[in-house]
Amino acid sequence: MLTQKFFKLFPPPNFLNIPHAGLDICDDAVRCIEYSHSTHGLTINKFGTKSLPKGVIESGHIKDEATLTKIILELATLLKISTVKASLPEERMYLFKTEVPNAQEDEIRQNIEFKLEENVPLSPADAVFFFDLIPEGVMFNDAQDKIFASVSVAPLDLVTSYLNVIKKAGLTVLSFEIQAKAIARTLVPRDSNETQMIIYNMVHKTGIYIVCGGVVCFTSTVSWGDSSTSESKDQAMTADGLKREIGKIYRYWIEHGWGSVISRIVLSGNGVLVDGLVSHCSPDPKIPVEIGRVWQNSFSYDKYIPPIPFENSLEYAIAAGLALPS
Protein backbone atom coordinates (compact mmCIF):
# COMPACT_ATOMS: atom_id res chain seq x y z
CA MET A 1 0.00 0.00 0.00
CA LEU A 2 2.67 2.51 1.03
CA THR A 3 4.94 1.53 -1.84
CA GLN A 4 2.11 2.14 -4.34
CA LYS A 5 1.51 5.61 -2.92
CA PHE A 6 5.24 6.30 -3.06
CA PHE A 7 5.44 5.61 -6.78
CA LYS A 8 2.42 7.82 -7.49
CA LEU A 9 3.82 10.81 -5.60
CA PHE A 10 7.58 10.27 -5.86
CA PRO A 11 8.18 8.39 -9.14
CA PRO A 12 11.48 6.62 -9.88
CA PRO A 13 14.32 8.77 -11.32
CA ASN A 14 13.92 7.61 -14.94
CA PHE A 15 10.52 9.34 -15.08
CA LEU A 16 11.90 12.66 -13.90
CA ASN A 17 13.55 13.61 -17.21
CA ILE A 18 10.18 14.43 -18.75
CA PRO A 19 10.25 18.16 -19.65
CA HIS A 20 8.86 20.13 -16.74
CA ALA A 21 8.97 23.39 -14.83
CA GLY A 22 10.08 23.79 -11.22
CA LEU A 23 7.26 25.10 -9.01
CA ASP A 24 8.33 26.47 -5.63
CA ILE A 25 5.43 27.04 -3.23
CA CYS A 26 6.52 29.02 -0.15
CA ASP A 27 4.60 30.89 2.53
CA ASP A 28 5.20 34.23 0.82
CA ALA A 29 5.13 33.48 -2.92
CA VAL A 30 4.91 30.97 -5.75
CA ARG A 31 7.96 30.90 -8.05
CA CYS A 32 8.49 29.02 -11.26
CA ILE A 33 11.35 28.31 -13.68
CA GLU A 34 11.46 26.24 -16.83
CA TYR A 35 14.70 25.49 -18.69
CA SER A 36 15.19 24.75 -22.34
CA HIS A 37 18.12 23.14 -24.14
CA SER A 38 20.34 25.07 -26.53
CA THR A 39 23.76 24.75 -28.12
CA HIS A 40 25.12 26.35 -24.93
CA GLY A 41 23.41 23.80 -22.66
CA LEU A 42 20.51 24.81 -20.43
CA THR A 43 18.96 28.26 -20.75
CA ILE A 44 16.09 29.85 -18.85
CA ASN A 45 13.00 29.55 -21.02
CA LYS A 46 10.32 30.81 -18.62
CA PHE A 47 10.28 32.27 -15.13
CA GLY A 48 7.96 34.20 -12.87
CA THR A 49 6.81 34.96 -9.33
CA LYS A 50 3.41 35.60 -7.80
CA SER A 51 3.24 36.90 -4.23
CA LEU A 52 0.88 35.22 -1.78
CA PRO A 53 -1.32 37.22 0.60
CA LYS A 54 -0.45 36.72 4.23
CA GLY A 55 -2.22 33.73 5.74
CA VAL A 56 -2.68 31.66 2.57
CA ILE A 57 0.11 29.33 3.74
CA GLU A 58 1.40 29.34 7.32
CA SER A 59 4.44 27.28 8.30
CA GLY A 60 3.80 24.99 5.35
CA HIS A 61 0.08 24.50 6.12
CA ILE A 62 -2.26 25.51 3.30
CA LYS A 63 -4.93 27.66 4.97
CA ASP A 64 -6.68 29.04 1.87
CA GLU A 65 -6.80 26.48 -0.94
CA ALA A 66 -8.97 28.62 -3.21
CA THR A 67 -6.59 31.59 -3.21
CA LEU A 68 -3.51 29.40 -3.65
CA THR A 69 -5.13 27.57 -6.55
CA LYS A 70 -6.06 30.88 -8.20
CA ILE A 71 -2.51 32.26 -7.91
CA ILE A 72 -0.88 29.08 -9.22
CA LEU A 73 -3.35 29.06 -12.12
CA GLU A 74 -2.51 32.71 -12.92
CA LEU A 75 1.22 31.97 -12.95
CA ALA A 76 0.79 28.79 -15.00
CA THR A 77 -1.38 30.62 -17.54
CA LEU A 78 1.07 33.51 -17.79
CA LEU A 79 4.04 31.20 -18.35
CA LYS A 80 2.11 28.60 -20.38
CA ILE A 81 3.34 25.65 -18.34
CA SER A 82 1.53 22.35 -17.89
CA THR A 83 3.85 19.88 -16.10
CA VAL A 84 5.74 20.64 -12.89
CA LYS A 85 7.96 19.23 -10.23
CA ALA A 86 6.82 20.91 -7.01
CA SER A 87 8.26 21.64 -3.59
CA LEU A 88 7.08 20.52 -0.16
CA PRO A 89 7.74 22.61 2.98
CA GLU A 90 10.73 21.41 4.98
CA GLU A 91 9.24 22.29 8.39
CA ARG A 92 6.49 19.69 7.97
CA MET A 93 8.82 16.88 6.92
CA TYR A 94 10.76 14.36 8.99
CA LEU A 95 14.36 13.48 8.22
CA PHE A 96 16.39 10.58 9.57
CA LYS A 97 19.51 8.61 8.72
CA THR A 98 19.52 4.82 8.63
CA GLU A 99 21.75 1.96 7.57
CA VAL A 100 20.45 0.10 4.52
CA PRO A 101 21.42 -3.15 2.77
CA ASN A 102 23.70 -3.17 -0.25
CA ALA A 103 20.89 -4.21 -2.57
CA GLN A 104 18.59 -3.13 -5.39
CA GLU A 105 16.51 0.02 -4.98
CA ASP A 106 13.26 -1.89 -4.34
CA GLU A 107 14.83 -3.85 -1.50
CA ILE A 108 16.32 -0.72 0.03
CA ARG A 109 12.94 1.00 -0.13
CA GLN A 110 11.25 -1.96 1.54
CA ASN A 111 13.91 -1.99 4.26
CA ILE A 112 13.28 1.69 4.97
CA GLU A 113 9.53 1.20 4.99
CA PHE A 114 9.86 -1.32 7.82
CA LYS A 115 11.82 1.27 9.85
CA LEU A 116 9.45 4.20 9.45
CA GLU A 117 7.53 3.83 12.71
CA GLU A 118 10.82 3.57 14.62
CA ASN A 119 11.91 6.99 13.40
CA VAL A 120 8.85 9.19 12.77
CA PRO A 121 5.52 9.73 14.56
CA LEU A 122 3.51 8.51 11.59
CA SER A 123 2.06 5.15 10.69
CA PRO A 124 3.11 3.74 7.30
CA ALA A 125 -0.45 4.23 6.07
CA ASP A 126 -0.23 7.97 6.80
CA ALA A 127 3.20 8.63 5.31
CA VAL A 128 5.09 8.80 2.04
CA PHE A 129 8.88 8.90 1.84
CA PHE A 130 11.89 9.17 -0.44
CA PHE A 131 15.58 8.64 0.20
CA ASP A 132 19.10 9.38 -1.02
CA LEU A 133 22.09 7.12 -0.48
CA ILE A 134 24.92 8.99 1.23
CA PRO A 135 28.14 8.74 -0.82
CA GLU A 136 30.86 6.52 0.62
CA GLY A 137 33.71 8.34 2.31
CA VAL A 138 31.73 11.51 2.96
CA MET A 139 31.06 10.80 6.63
CA PHE A 140 30.82 8.14 9.31
CA ASN A 141 34.44 7.59 10.33
CA ASP A 142 33.49 4.42 12.22
CA ALA A 143 31.26 2.98 9.49
CA GLN A 144 33.38 2.71 6.39
CA ASP A 145 31.88 -0.61 5.27
CA LYS A 146 28.25 0.35 5.77
CA ILE A 147 25.72 2.00 3.47
CA PHE A 148 23.50 4.77 4.81
CA ALA A 149 20.51 6.62 3.46
CA SER A 150 19.03 9.99 4.31
CA VAL A 151 15.27 9.49 4.44
CA SER A 152 12.65 12.25 4.13
CA VAL A 153 9.13 11.44 5.27
CA ALA A 154 6.02 13.50 4.56
CA PRO A 155 2.55 13.17 6.11
CA LEU A 156 0.22 11.85 3.44
CA ASP A 157 -2.34 14.57 4.16
CA LEU A 158 0.32 17.24 3.51
CA VAL A 159 1.22 15.78 0.13
CA THR A 160 -2.43 15.33 -0.77
CA SER A 161 -3.26 18.94 0.06
CA TYR A 162 -0.50 20.28 -2.20
CA LEU A 163 -1.33 17.78 -4.93
CA ASN A 164 -5.01 18.74 -4.94
CA VAL A 165 -4.28 22.46 -5.20
CA ILE A 166 -1.83 22.06 -8.07
CA LYS A 167 -4.17 19.71 -9.96
CA LYS A 168 -7.08 22.14 -9.50
CA ALA A 169 -4.85 24.76 -11.13
CA GLY A 170 -4.75 22.52 -14.20
CA LEU A 171 -1.18 21.29 -13.83
CA THR A 172 0.24 17.78 -13.97
CA VAL A 173 2.53 17.02 -11.02
CA LEU A 174 5.49 14.96 -12.10
CA SER A 175 6.88 14.61 -8.58
CA PHE A 176 7.38 16.35 -5.24
CA GLU A 177 10.62 17.22 -3.47
CA ILE A 178 11.41 18.88 -0.18
CA GLN A 179 12.68 22.44 -0.50
CA ALA A 180 16.03 21.62 1.12
CA LYS A 181 16.84 18.96 -1.47
CA ALA A 182 16.01 21.29 -4.36
CA ILE A 183 18.20 24.00 -2.84
CA ALA A 184 21.09 21.56 -2.42
CA ARG A 185 20.83 20.51 -6.07
CA THR A 186 21.21 24.18 -7.00
CA LEU A 187 23.84 25.43 -4.56
CA VAL A 188 26.13 22.41 -4.15
CA PRO A 189 28.48 21.85 -7.11
CA ARG A 190 27.98 18.56 -8.92
CA ASP A 191 30.21 15.73 -7.63
CA SER A 192 31.10 17.69 -4.48
CA ASN A 193 32.03 15.54 -1.47
CA GLU A 194 32.20 18.49 0.90
CA THR A 195 29.92 19.02 3.87
CA GLN A 196 28.27 22.41 3.62
CA MET A 197 25.80 24.40 5.68
CA ILE A 198 23.21 26.13 3.52
CA ILE A 199 21.25 29.07 4.89
CA TYR A 200 18.15 29.91 2.88
CA ASN A 201 16.49 33.14 3.96
CA MET A 202 12.78 33.68 3.34
CA VAL A 203 10.44 36.52 4.31
CA HIS A 204 9.43 35.24 7.73
CA LYS A 205 11.73 32.26 8.31
CA THR A 206 15.12 30.78 7.47
CA GLY A 207 16.01 27.22 6.55
CA ILE A 208 19.34 25.89 7.83
CA TYR A 209 20.47 22.72 6.09
CA ILE A 210 23.58 20.56 6.28
CA VAL A 211 24.42 18.80 3.03
CA CYS A 212 27.01 16.01 2.80
CA GLY A 213 28.19 14.99 -0.64
CA GLY A 214 25.09 16.56 -2.18
CA VAL A 215 22.71 14.74 0.20
CA VAL A 216 20.64 16.66 2.76
CA CYS A 217 21.45 15.18 6.17
CA PHE A 218 20.05 17.80 8.56
CA THR A 219 17.31 20.42 8.32
CA SER A 220 15.94 23.09 10.62
CA THR A 221 13.64 26.06 10.13
CA VAL A 222 13.93 29.08 12.44
CA SER A 223 11.66 32.10 12.84
CA TRP A 224 14.04 34.64 11.37
CA GLY A 225 13.52 36.02 7.89
CA ASP A 226 14.06 38.87 5.46
CA SER A 227 11.48 40.92 7.37
CA SER A 228 13.79 40.77 10.41
CA THR A 229 16.34 42.92 8.57
CA SER A 230 13.97 45.12 6.57
CA GLU A 231 12.01 46.17 9.67
CA SER A 232 15.06 47.20 11.70
CA LYS A 233 17.47 50.10 11.37
CA ASP A 234 20.30 48.10 12.97
CA GLN A 235 21.03 45.24 10.58
CA ALA A 236 23.88 43.82 12.68
CA MET A 237 21.68 43.50 15.77
CA THR A 238 18.97 41.63 13.90
CA ALA A 239 21.58 39.32 12.37
CA ASP A 240 22.72 38.33 15.86
CA GLY A 241 19.54 36.27 16.31
CA LEU A 242 20.28 34.26 13.20
CA LYS A 243 23.90 33.82 14.21
CA ARG A 244 22.85 32.31 17.55
CA GLU A 245 20.65 29.74 15.77
CA ILE A 246 23.46 28.89 13.35
CA GLY A 247 25.83 28.47 16.30
CA LYS A 248 23.47 26.02 18.00
CA ILE A 249 23.21 23.87 14.89
CA TYR A 250 26.95 24.04 14.27
CA ARG A 251 27.71 22.82 17.80
CA TYR A 252 25.12 20.05 17.43
CA TRP A 253 26.79 18.92 14.21
CA ILE A 254 30.22 18.86 15.83
CA GLU A 255 28.85 16.50 18.49
CA HIS A 256 26.55 14.41 16.30
CA GLY A 257 27.80 14.97 12.74
CA TRP A 258 29.04 11.44 12.22
CA GLY A 259 32.63 12.49 11.52
CA SER A 260 31.80 15.06 8.85
CA VAL A 261 33.27 18.58 9.14
CA ILE A 262 31.49 21.63 7.72
CA SER A 263 33.83 23.20 5.17
CA ARG A 264 31.79 26.23 4.09
CA ILE A 265 28.54 28.12 4.61
CA VAL A 266 26.45 29.15 1.61
CA LEU A 267 23.70 31.80 1.70
CA SER A 268 20.75 32.26 -0.61
CA GLY A 269 17.19 33.57 -0.60
CA ASN A 270 15.62 36.91 0.27
CA GLY A 271 17.73 39.67 1.75
CA VAL A 272 21.06 37.83 2.02
CA LEU A 273 22.87 40.73 0.33
CA VAL A 274 22.04 43.04 3.24
CA ASP A 275 25.20 44.77 4.47
CA GLY A 276 26.82 42.90 7.35
CA LEU A 277 24.70 39.75 7.13
CA VAL A 278 27.40 37.54 5.58
CA SER A 279 29.94 38.47 8.25
CA HIS A 280 27.43 37.50 10.96
CA CYS A 281 26.70 34.00 9.69
CA SER A 282 29.86 32.05 10.49
CA PRO A 283 30.06 30.36 13.91
CA ASP A 284 33.80 29.83 13.33
CA PRO A 285 36.13 32.37 11.67
CA LYS A 286 37.88 29.49 9.90
CA ILE A 287 34.73 28.58 7.96
CA PRO A 288 34.25 30.72 4.84
CA VAL A 289 30.83 32.21 4.11
CA GLU A 290 29.77 32.85 0.53
CA ILE A 291 26.74 33.88 -1.48
CA GLY A 292 25.29 30.96 -3.42
CA ARG A 293 25.64 30.61 -7.18
CA VAL A 294 22.19 29.55 -8.28
CA TRP A 295 23.10 28.78 -11.89
CA GLN A 296 26.37 26.90 -11.37
CA ASN A 297 24.81 23.52 -12.23
CA SER A 298 22.69 24.93 -15.05
CA PHE A 299 25.00 26.87 -17.35
CA SER A 300 28.19 28.92 -17.56
CA TYR A 301 28.19 32.72 -17.58
CA ASP A 302 30.92 32.44 -20.20
CA LYS A 303 28.36 31.08 -22.66
CA TYR A 304 25.03 32.47 -21.48
CA ILE A 305 23.80 35.50 -19.53
CA PRO A 306 20.48 34.73 -17.79
CA PRO A 307 17.55 37.18 -17.88
CA ILE A 308 17.30 37.14 -14.06
CA PRO A 309 19.66 39.58 -12.26
CA PHE A 310 22.01 38.01 -9.71
CA GLU A 311 20.29 39.53 -6.68
CA ASN A 312 16.91 38.18 -7.83
CA SER A 313 18.32 34.76 -8.72
CA LEU A 314 18.92 34.06 -5.02
CA GLU A 315 15.14 33.80 -4.51
CA TYR A 316 14.86 31.21 -7.28
CA ALA A 317 17.17 28.58 -5.73
CA ILE A 318 14.30 26.16 -5.00
CA ALA A 319 12.53 26.54 -8.34
CA ALA A 320 15.85 26.29 -10.20
CA GLY A 321 16.71 23.04 -8.42
CA LEU A 322 13.30 21.56 -9.15
CA ALA A 323 13.57 22.50 -12.82
CA LEU A 324 16.96 20.86 -13.37
CA PRO A 325 16.85 17.60 -15.37
CA SER A 326 17.58 14.59 -13.16
Mean pLDDT by 10 residues, the chain (326 residues): 48 64 96 91 95 94 97 98 95 91 90 93 90 78 72 95 97 94 95 92 91 92 68 55 89 83 93 79 89 95 93 96 92
Q: pTM here?
A: 0.89
What pLDDT score does 281 carry?
83
What pLDDT score does 6 carry?
47
Question: Quick one: fold of 6-90+158-323?
Answer: Nucleotidyltransferase; domain 5 (3.30.420)
* Phi, psi for 295 (deg, rounded to 5): -100, 5
Locate the domains of the chain by residue range: 6-90+158-323
CA dist., res. 153 & res. 137, Å (int): 25
What pLDDT score does 260 carry?
83
* Residue (of 113, 109, 111, 110) closest to 123 by Cα position: 113
What pLDDT score does 180 carry?
95
What pLDDT score does 139 carry?
58
